[in-house]
């Protein structure tokens, strides 16, 4: 019995690193998160947010942004699955971290939350630019809204905004509607028009603009109206998820707890929507929601089970793929009615919506077109909020072999008859001609 | 010759054995004159057979036993497939490694004769327990068939003139550079066997016309079938033979022999040729084959008229009947042709055919044909280079042919004249003209030498003219005796004879020199002279292809200009977008467009074709001039022919093509320029020249600071001749 225990412990201790290996295709939710701070006071002033993360099982590691010992990777392995930059004023990261390291971190499939603020450093702005957003270039500019501001005790500069212009996506923001507006105080940014992946999750109202509240407005503000994004997200092509916001204080305990009343509105909410909004969106960022995987891509001729190396034109075939969604703890069947399959060679020759059995299996059957070439089975499922599924599998389609055509065609019987009667006639004629005398 | 000069011609008197005792011993082995002649003839033919083979082995000695150039690599790859998978798989092979994503039905789009021949030789050797590799068989197929061609040339020469002309023809064709250029060891191309098949078919047909037998007609049909299976040049046969028949009909040489030979050859040859999938129904549907069919029907009309003439005794009535029948026949043929063409049943002539008849056609209409160097009009120098003295002997031979017109000589004259015209239109067709030129020149040489020797020996031979010599030489001698009065005639003949031998020996040295210097380069391995006169070998092509084979995923797609497609699939074993089988002009134009666009536009095209690697050939470091930059204007033209956004003037400055600082801005920033000259600006290529000095074009390049955004350098060979770039995936966050 003791021996068995020993084996158990030994095997667990060997397997433990693998079991804990957080970001894997099997368990996409992040585990180890590095939080870089300007100073440790943020730990307590934003403790509600951090505690919410910890309670969901994340292992947060707090470091000062200029700590000379910080590093994202060691021996080529990333130490963290996600990075939270709550250090808007850092001029230079400590250790081996720089913008390129952060970009590489994201490009190898890890997630990132960036919170900038007024007087954000060039470094943070550069990170924003890499992620496809441009912060207002004026370092002291803030988002000001004289109509959509939050009513508060200190009446005056209208830089505390109450915004409720959310992106319409249950996957990103959770199923429960966010009732209360979001309190925001900070710098605005615009999404780069060249970037097709960045999305505005929370936009400013049409009456907002970005300017220095302390100085007089001499030139038209560069960012105005709903072009200003308050919170943006990016889902990179490798499904790394990024959150960029211009306000660090929106994560703070004070904003989480305070009530909110939007100017011009009679409804006074006891509690701002910040907590719900940021918690839900962090679930999305850390892959607790909206993460799909496609497995078991199968295709074969109707009536067969083995996958052929190539098809023949006009073959009937069946295609099936299983798609699952990560619920945060387990893989659940993904249910949708708009997953489409393309049979593609430079353009789709067949485009079919896959039928689902509600247990994750999507399948269809169709006839290979009468065209030979190198085709691809393509599933390009890109739905707002979900990881983009793009499966492609190359499969050549060959023409008929010489002995796969019909041997006798009914339409040709007159010709067969003509040929054979000609032969017979010639034979008889020759015979008669040679031996008639 | 010593046998003839022997005073006692019935005794074999080898000079070393001239003493009486040995001659007594050898008495049982004494040969009659006829036998001696046969022995000489056979031994000469054997020697020529061997000579034709070994003179083509320079490339193996200089380099190694390897396949040359571009197309042979495809032939080699298909032969390999044929030997590995068997005939039926080869016949039905759908190759998805070329023309991605369209693929190519290989079995239906090639002439299988060459591959089947090589595979049969391979099987035979293995049956005889010679464990050779198929590559060795492929390398030596062309020389082997060149040797066989010499035999055919001998019999052909014998058929049209006499055995002496046949022997000379065999010797001339064995070493003629025009033929060697396409049949050196390693040049595993269709032409290697096709010239044999071409000459063999012609020989069999002429034989059939001379003999008027069905058997020879049948043999020529099979010869034609082999030719059709081997090379697209069979169109030349199927047009030349009807033309020849037509000329015979017009000159009143119609005979039953001709009727039998042509009908048998045409009908059976057509039925057999239809068995080749690539040819299919073209014999009854394509405009290029209609002449043969028209002549076939004309033959029937002639036969019918002959019969009517035989039945009718009244010549006047027959004349009227003749005019009515001929008018009706021609009108019916014309209407049938018109209806066929109008209804689309008969396809019009293809561009390639037009470009043969009109040398300027391709330049204006089909850039893809005009871009191939071997399709250019022939320069005078290359006639001289490939034919040497044959160029002067050819008209002389024509003279002799006209002097002794027969059905056979008319044929060779027509073959010579038409093929000479085509040789003038396209460089590569010198090959087709070579056998005719050799045969006609052989007639000239043989007839001249014979006349001269007869003249020389006339005094000695006067006594025995009637007894031993044939009628033709008797005639010549009697003519010579008529000219007896001329002074120094014997010395003159001697001098002329020496002159002839001098010319022929010059021809032999020229041929050997050309073969060794010009035609034995595999062009996949380049050789140059180093600074100290030593030989430098650039093996960059194979280096690059093996890099592809070893370092890229097996399903990687490589984009390059079509010239290198066959080599990449055969040696690199990777999928290509376009290759040397230029069947889809749009696909090639797409690649041309990508190469001549700016990088971001090109990237879209590259992504749409799923390209993983881009391969360019660059000669700026080594001075290798047939690189992609020099071919680039053709990419622009071919791309612009389909996609008008690509305009040739954008790449030229005042109509001048340049790559230096004065080059057009689009030129300096197009993908081809960037890929060729990436990092080249840092490189010092020649002492005393600035960095970035392009040795192939002799200029300093205009854009030295090249940044690539969507592609990255993956591999550059040691002499920079081949550069391979990897296509980056789209930006992760954008």
- What value does the mean pLDDT take over residues A319-339? 90
Residue of B102, B555, B732 with shortest CB distance to A373: B102
Total count of domains within chain B: 2
Give the pLDDT confidence score for residue B545 in this predicted structure.
95
A92-101, B79-88, B268-277, B487-496: the lowest-pLDDT one: B487-496
Angle, CA of A175, A178 and A181, to the nearest 5°: 160
Residue B531 belongs to some domain of the structure = no
* pLDDT at A20 > cutoff 50: no
- What value does the mean pLDDT take over residues B571-593? 91
**A-chain residue closest to B275, CA distance:** A402
Residues of B at the A interface, defined by Cβ within 8 angstroms: 88, 91-92, 94, 96, 100-103, 105, 555, 608-609, 729-734
Contact criterion met (CB < 8 Å) for B94 and A234: no
Give the pLDDT confidence score for residue B193 in this predicted structure.
93
Residue of B91, B102, B734 with shortest CB distance to A132: B734
C-alpha B654/C-alpha A338 separation (Å) is: 57
- Find the domain containing B718 and state its range: 537-725
Mean pLDDT of chain B: 87
Identify the H or E element spanning A366. strand A361-367
Question: Between the CA of residue B547 and those of A314, A341, B15, B615, what are the distances in Å?
Answer: 38, 36, 64, 12
User: Are B627 and B618 a contacting pair, CB within 8 Å?
Assistant: yes
DSSP-H helix ranges across A63-149: 99-107, 122-130
**B-chain residue closest to A394, CA distance:** B555
Q: Count CB atoms within 10 A of the CB of residue A276.
A: 19
C-alpha A54/C-alpha A21 separation (Å) is: 18
Residue of A103, A131, A237 with shortest CB distance to B730: A237
User: Per CATH, the architecture of A15-285 is what?
Assistant: 3-Layer(aba) Sandwich (3.40)
Q: Which two tokens stand for residue B691?
A: 């960095």
CA of A419, closest CA in chain B: separation in Å? 14
Q: Which residues of chain B make contact with A399, given a CB cutoff of 8 A?
A: 94, 105
First to last CA, chain B: 87
Residue B395 belongs to some domain of the structure = no
CATH 2.60.40.1930 fits A291-398, yes or no: yes
Give the pLDDT confidence score for residue A19 in this predicted structure.
44
* pLDDT at A120 > cutoff 60: yes
- Domain at B552, CATH number: 3.40.50.12610
A180-184, B360-364, B400-404, B485-489: the lowest-pLDDT one: B485-489
Residue B197 belongs to some domain of the structure = no
Using only C-alpha atoms, chain B has a radius of gyration, in whole angstroms, of: 30
Q: Which residues of chain A make contact with B729, given a CB cutoff of 8 A?
A: 237
User: Are B561 and B635 a contacting pair, CB within 8 Å?
Assistant: yes
Backbone dihedral region of B625: left (phi > 0), alpha (psi from -120 to 50 degrees) or beta? alpha
pLDDT band at B5 (very low <50, low <70, confident <90, very high): very low
Residue A229 β-bridge partners:
A189, A203
Residue B537, exposed/middle/buried by CB under 10 A (0-12, 13-18, 19+)?
exposed
**B-chain residue closest to A128, CA distance:** B733
First to last CA, chain A: 113
Burial A323-348 (b: 16+ CB within 10 A, else e): bbbbebeebeebeeeebebbbbbbeb
Convert the pLDDT of each residue in B516-530 to its tens digit: 888 888 888 888 887
Give the pLDDT confidence score for residue A24 in this predicted structure.
55
* pLDDT at B505 > cutoff 80: yes
Task: Provide the angle, in degrees to the nearest 10, between the axes of the packed helices B290-311 and B234-250.
Answer: 30
Contact criterion met (CB < 8 Å) for A240 and B732: yes
C-alpha A334/C-alpha B206 separation (Å) is: 78
- What value does the mean pLDDT take over residues B82-92? 93
Q: Which residues of chain A make contact with B92, given a CB cutoff of 8 A?
A: 398, 401-402
**DSSP state, B343?**
T
Q: Which residues of chain A make contact with B105, given a CB cutoff of 8 A?
A: 372, 399
Question: Between the CA of residue B443 and those of A116, A223, A377, B173, B439, what are the distances in Å?
Answer: 96, 93, 66, 13, 6
The closest of B508, B513, B522 to B59, measured between CA atoms, is: B522
Mean pLDDT of chain A: 87
- What value does the mean pLDDT take over residues A268-289? 89
Convert the pLDDT of each residue in A283-293 to its tens digit: 999 988 889 99
* pLDDT at A300 > cutoff 70: yes
A322-336, B18-32, B124-138, B631-645: the lowest-pLDDT one: B18-32
- What value does the mean pLDDT take over residues B77-101? 92
- Candidates A99, A369, A374, partner chain B, best to mutate (most B CBs within 10 A): A374
Give the pLDDT confidence score for residue B12 in this predicted structure.
41
Contact criterion met (CB < 8 Å) for B734 and A197: yes
Q: Which two tokens stand for residue B424?
A: 């003038």
Stated pTM of the model: 0.86
User: Are A353 and A339 a contacting pair, CB within 8 Å?
Assistant: yes
* pLDDT at A263 > cutoff 50: yes
Residues 6+ apart with CB under 8 A from B668: B659, B702, B703
Give the pLDDT confidence score for residue A156 in this predicted structure.
67
- What value does the mean pLDDT take over residues B436-465? 81
Q: Which two tokens stand for residue B167?
A: 């022997």
Give the pLDDT confidence score for residue A154 in this predicted structure.
63
Residues 6+ apart with CB under 8 A from B584: B99, B102, B578
pLDDT band at B371 (very low <50, low <70, confident <90, very high): confident
Which 3 state secondary structure label does DSSP give B11?
coil
* pLDDT at B459 > cutoff 70: no
Q: Which residues of chain B make contact with A373, given a CB cutoff of 8 A?
A: 96, 101-103
Q: Which two tokens stand for residue B317?
A: 């009535």
C-alpha A18/C-alpha B93 separation (Å) is: 48
Residue B393 belongs to some domain of the structure = no
Q: Which two tokens stand for residue B613?
A: 């690697």
Which 3 state secondary structure label does DSSP give B256?
helix
* pLDDT at B297 > cutoff 50: yes
CA of B247, closest CA in chain A: separation in Å? 32
DSSP-H helix ranges across A131-200: 170-173
* pLDDT at B373 > cutoff 70: yes
Residue B149 belongs to some domain of the structure = no
CA of A128, closest CA in chain B: separation in Å? 11
- Candidates A107, A312, A346, partner chain B, best to mutate (most B CBs within 10 A): A346
Residue after which a domain boundary falls, among B346, B378, B396: B346
Give the pLDDT confidence score for residue B466 in this predicted structure.
41
Alpha-carbon torsion B327, B332, B337, B343, what sign?
A: positive
C-alpha A87/C-alpha A117 separation (Å) is: 9
Give the pLDDT confidence score for residue B316 in this predicted structure.
85
Residue identified by tokens 């004023």 is A89
Residue A388, exposed/middle/buried by CB under 10 A (0-12, 13-18, 19+)?
middle
* pLDDT at B453 > cutoff 80: yes
The closest of B680, B673, B710 to B694, measured between CA atoms, is: B680
Phi then psi dihedrals of residue B332, to 5 deg: -60, -45
Angle, CA of B706, B708 and B712, to the nearest 5°: 125
Give the pLDDT confidence score for residue B22 in this predicted structure.
57
Residue B105 β-bridge partners:
B94
Residue after which a domain boundary falls, among B346, B372, B402: B346
Q: For the CA atoms of A275, A277, A281, A283, what is the dihedral angle to 10 degrees?
A: 50
Residue A381 β-bridge partners:
A389
Q: What residue segments make up the domains of chain A, in order of their start?
A: 15-285, 291-398
pLDDT band at A170 (very low <50, low <70, confident <90, very high): confident
pLDDT band at B731 (very low <50, low <70, confident <90, very high): confident
- What value does the mean pLDDT take over residues A235-256? 90
pLDDT band at B10 (very low <50, low <70, confident <90, very high): very low
C-alpha B448/C-alpha A202 separation (Å) is: 101
Peptide bond into B101 cis (omega under 30): yes
- What value does the mean pLDDT take over residues A399-412? 90
Residue B390 belongs to some domain of the structure = no
User: Are A115 and A86 a contacting pair, CB within 8 Å?
Assistant: yes
Strands A291-301 and A161-163: unpaired
Using only C-alpha atoms, chain A has a radius of gyration, in whole angstroms, of: 32
Q: Which two tokens stand for residue B86?
A: 């068997």
Residue B700 β-bridge partners:
B693
pLDDT band at A29 (very low <50, low <70, confident <90, very high): confident
Give the pLDDT confidence score for residue B613 in this predicted structure.
95
Q: Count CB atoms within 10 A of the CB of residue A356.
A: 18
C-alpha A28/C-alpha A293 separation (Å) is: 10
Chains A & B: contacts with CB separation below 8 Å? 62
- What value does the mean pLDDT take over residues B23-41? 78
Residues 6+ apart with CB under 8 A from A61: A32, A33, A34, A35, A80
Convert the pLDDT of each residue in A350-381 to its tens digit: 999 999 988 889 999 999 999 999 999 999 99
Percent of chain B whose pLDDT exceeds 90 = 59
Within 13 Å, how many C-alpha atoms sit on residue A434's CB side? 6
Give the pLDDT confidence score for residue B13 in this predicted structure.
42
CA of A149, closest CA in chain B: separation in Å? 33
Give the pLDDT confidence score for residue B122 in this predicted structure.
96
- Candidates A110, A199, A373, A423, partner chain B, best to mutate (most B CBs within 10 A): A373
Residue B68 belongs to some domain of the structure = no
Task: Provide the angle, in degrees to the nearest 10, between the axes of the packed helices B430-461 and B134-160.
Answer: 50
Give the pLDDT confidence score for residue B486 in this predicted structure.
61
Residue A233 β-bridge partners:
A199, A243
Residue of A238, A374, A402 with shortest CB distance to B96: A374
Q: Count CB atoms within 10 A of the CB of residue B66.
A: 19
- What value does the mean pLDDT take over residues A426-436? 92
Residue B431 belongs to some domain of the structure = no
pLDDT band at B25 (very low <50, low <70, confident <90, very high): low
Residue B713 β-bridge partners:
B725
Contact criterion met (CB < 8 Å) for B732 and A398: no
pLDDT band at B617 (very low <50, low <70, confident <90, very high): very high
- What value does the mean pLDDT take over residues B199-220? 95
Identify the H or E element spanning B680. none
Alpha-carbon torsion A152, A158, A164, A167, what sign?
A: negative
C-alpha B139/C-alpha B188 separation (Å) is: 6
């Amino acid at each position: 019995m003791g021996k068995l225990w020993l084996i158990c412990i030994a095997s667990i201790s060997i397997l433990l690193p693998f079991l804990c290996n957080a970001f894997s295709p099997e368990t996409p939710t992040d585990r180890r998160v590095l939080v870089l701070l300007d100073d440790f006071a943020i730990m307590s002033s934003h403790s509600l947010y951090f505690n919410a993360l910890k309670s969901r099982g994340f292992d947060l590691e707090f470091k000062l942004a200029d700590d000379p010992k910080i590093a994202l990777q060691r021996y080529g392995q990333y130490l963290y699955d996600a990075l939270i930059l709550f250090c808007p004023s850092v001029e230079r990261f400590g250790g081996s971290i720089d913008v390129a390291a952060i970009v590489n971190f994201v490009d190898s499939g890890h997630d990132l939350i960036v919170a900038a603020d007024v007087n954000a450093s060039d470094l943070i702005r550069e990170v924003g630019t890499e992620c496809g957003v441009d912060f207002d270039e004026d370092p002291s500019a803030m988002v000001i809204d004289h109509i959509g501001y939050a009513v508060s005790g200190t009446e005056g500069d209208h830089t505390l905004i109450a915004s409720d212009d959310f992106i319409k996506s249950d996957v990103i923001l959770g199923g429960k509607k966010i009732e209360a507006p979001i309190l925001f105080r900070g710098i605005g940014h615009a999404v780069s028009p060249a970037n097709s992946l960045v999305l505005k999750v929370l936009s400013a109202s049409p009456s907002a603009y970005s300017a220095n509240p302390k100085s007089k407005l001499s030139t038209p503000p560069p960012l105005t109206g709903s072009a200003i994004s308050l919170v943006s997200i990016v889902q990179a092509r490798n499904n790394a998820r990024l959150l960029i916001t211009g306000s660090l204080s929106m994560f703070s305990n004070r904003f989480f707890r305070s009530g909110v009343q939007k100017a011009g509105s009679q409804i006074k909410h006891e509690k701002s929507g910040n907590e719900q909004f940021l918690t839900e969106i962090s679930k999305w960022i850390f892959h607790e929601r909206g993460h799909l995987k496609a497995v078991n891509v199968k295709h074969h001729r109707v009536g067969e089970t083995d996958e052929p190396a190539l098809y023949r034109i006009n073959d009937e075939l069946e295609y099936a793929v299983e798609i699952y969604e990560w619920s945060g703890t387990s893989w659940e069947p993904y249910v949708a009615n708009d997953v489409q399959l393309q049979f593609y060679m430079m353009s789709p020759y067949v485009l079919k919506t896959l039928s689902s059995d509600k247990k994750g299996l999507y399948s269809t059957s169709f006839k290979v077109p009468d065209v030979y070439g190198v085709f691809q089975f393509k599933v390009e499922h890109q739905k707002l909020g979900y990881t983009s599924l793009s499966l492609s599998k190359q499969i050549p389609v060959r023409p008929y072999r010489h002995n796969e055509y019909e041997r006798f065609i009914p339409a040709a019987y007159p010709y067969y008859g003509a040929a054979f009667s000609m032969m017979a006639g010639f034979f008889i004629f020759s015979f008669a001609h040679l031996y008639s005398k | 010759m010593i046998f003839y000069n022997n005073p006692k011609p019935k005794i074999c008197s080898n000079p070393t054995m001239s003493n009486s005792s040995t001659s007594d011993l050898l008495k049982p082995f004494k040969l009659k004159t006829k036998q001696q002649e046969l022995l000489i003839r056979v031994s000469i033919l054997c020697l020529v057979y061997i000579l034709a083979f070994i003179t083509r082995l320079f490339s193996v000695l200089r380099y190694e036993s390897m396949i040359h150039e571009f197309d042979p690599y495809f032939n080699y790859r298909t032969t390999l497939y044929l030997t590995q998978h068997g005939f039926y798989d080869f016949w039905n092979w759908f190759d998805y490694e070329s023309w991605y994503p369209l693929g190519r039905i290989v079995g239906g789009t090639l002439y299988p004769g060459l591959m089947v021949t090589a595979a049969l030789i391979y099987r035979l050797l293995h049956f005889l327990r010679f464990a050779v590799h198929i590559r060795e068989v492929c390398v030596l197929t062309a020389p082997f068939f060149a040797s066989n061609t010499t035999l055919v040339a001998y019999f052909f020469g014998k058929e049209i003139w006499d055995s002496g002309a046949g022997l000379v023809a065999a010797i001339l064709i064995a070493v003629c550079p025009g033929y060697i250029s396409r049949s050196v060891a390693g040049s595993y191309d269709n032409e290697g066997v096709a010239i044999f098949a071409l000459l063999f078919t012609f020989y069999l047909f002429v034989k059939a016309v001379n003999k008027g037998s069905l058997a020879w007609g049948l043999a020529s049909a099979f010869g034609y079938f082999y030719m059709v299976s081997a090379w697209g040049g069979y169109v030349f046969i199927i047009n030349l033979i009807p033309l020849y028949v037509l000329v015979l009909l017009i000159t009143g040489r119609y005979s039953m022999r001709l009727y039998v030979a042509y009908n048998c050859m045409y009908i059976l040859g057509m039925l057999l040729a239809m068995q080749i999938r690539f040819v299919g129904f073209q014999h009854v549907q394509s405009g290029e084959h209609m002449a043969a069919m028209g002549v076939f029907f004309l033959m029937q009309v002639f036969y019918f008229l002959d019969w009517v003439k035989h039945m009718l005794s009244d010549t006047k009535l027959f004349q009227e009947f003749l005019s009515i029948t001929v008018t009706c026949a021609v009108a019916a043929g014309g209407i049938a042709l018109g209806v066929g063409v109008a209804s689309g049943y008969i396809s019009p002539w293809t561009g390639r055919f037009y470009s043969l008849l009109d040398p300027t056609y391709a330049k204006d209409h089909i850039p893809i044909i005009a871009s191939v160097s071997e399709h250019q009009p022939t320069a005078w120098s290359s006639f001289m280079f490939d034919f040497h003295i044959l160029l002067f002997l050819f008209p002389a031979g024509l003279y002799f042919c006209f002097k002794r017109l027969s059905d056979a000589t008319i044929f060779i004259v027509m073959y010579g004249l038409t093929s000479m015209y085509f040789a003038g239109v396209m460089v590569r067709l010198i090959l087709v003209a070579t056998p005719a030129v050799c045969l006609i020149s052989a007639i000239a040489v043989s007839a001249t030498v014979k006349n001269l020797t007869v003249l020389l020996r006339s005094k000695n031979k006067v006594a025995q003219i009637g007894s031993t010599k044939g009628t033709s030489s008797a005639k010549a001698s009697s003519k010579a005796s008529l000219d007896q009065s001329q002074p120094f005639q014997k010395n003159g003949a001697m001098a002329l004879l020496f002159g002839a031998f001098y010319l022929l020996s010059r021809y032999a040295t020229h041929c050997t020199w050309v073969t060794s210097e010009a035609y034995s380069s595999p062009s996949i391995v380049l050789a140059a002279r180093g600074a100290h006169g030593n030989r430098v070998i650039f093996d960059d092509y194979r280096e690059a292809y093996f890099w592809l084979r070893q370092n890229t995923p097996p399903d990687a797609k490589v984009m390059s200009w079509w010239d290198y497609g066959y080599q990449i699939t055969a040696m690199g074993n990777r999928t290509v977008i376009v290759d040397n089988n230029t069947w889809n002009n749009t696909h090639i134009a797409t690649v041309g467009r990508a190469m001549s666009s700016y990088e971001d536009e090109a990237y879209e095209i590259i992504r749409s074709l799923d390209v993983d690697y881009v391969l360019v050939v660059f000669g700026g470091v080594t001075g290798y001039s047939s690189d992609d930059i020099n071919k680039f204007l053709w990419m622009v033209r071919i791309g612009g022919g389909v996609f008008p956004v690509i305009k040739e003037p954008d790449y030229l400055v005042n109509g001048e093509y340049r790559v230096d600082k004065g080059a057009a801005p689009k030129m300096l920033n197009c993908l081809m320029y960037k890929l060729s000259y990436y990092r080249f600006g840092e490189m010092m290529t020649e002492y005393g020249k600035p960095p970035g000095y392009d040795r192939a074009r002799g200029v300093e390049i205009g854009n030295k600071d090249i940044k690539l955004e969507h592609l990255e350098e993956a591999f550059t060979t040691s002499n920079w001749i081949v550069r391979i770039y990897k296509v980056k995936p789209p930006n992760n966050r954008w």
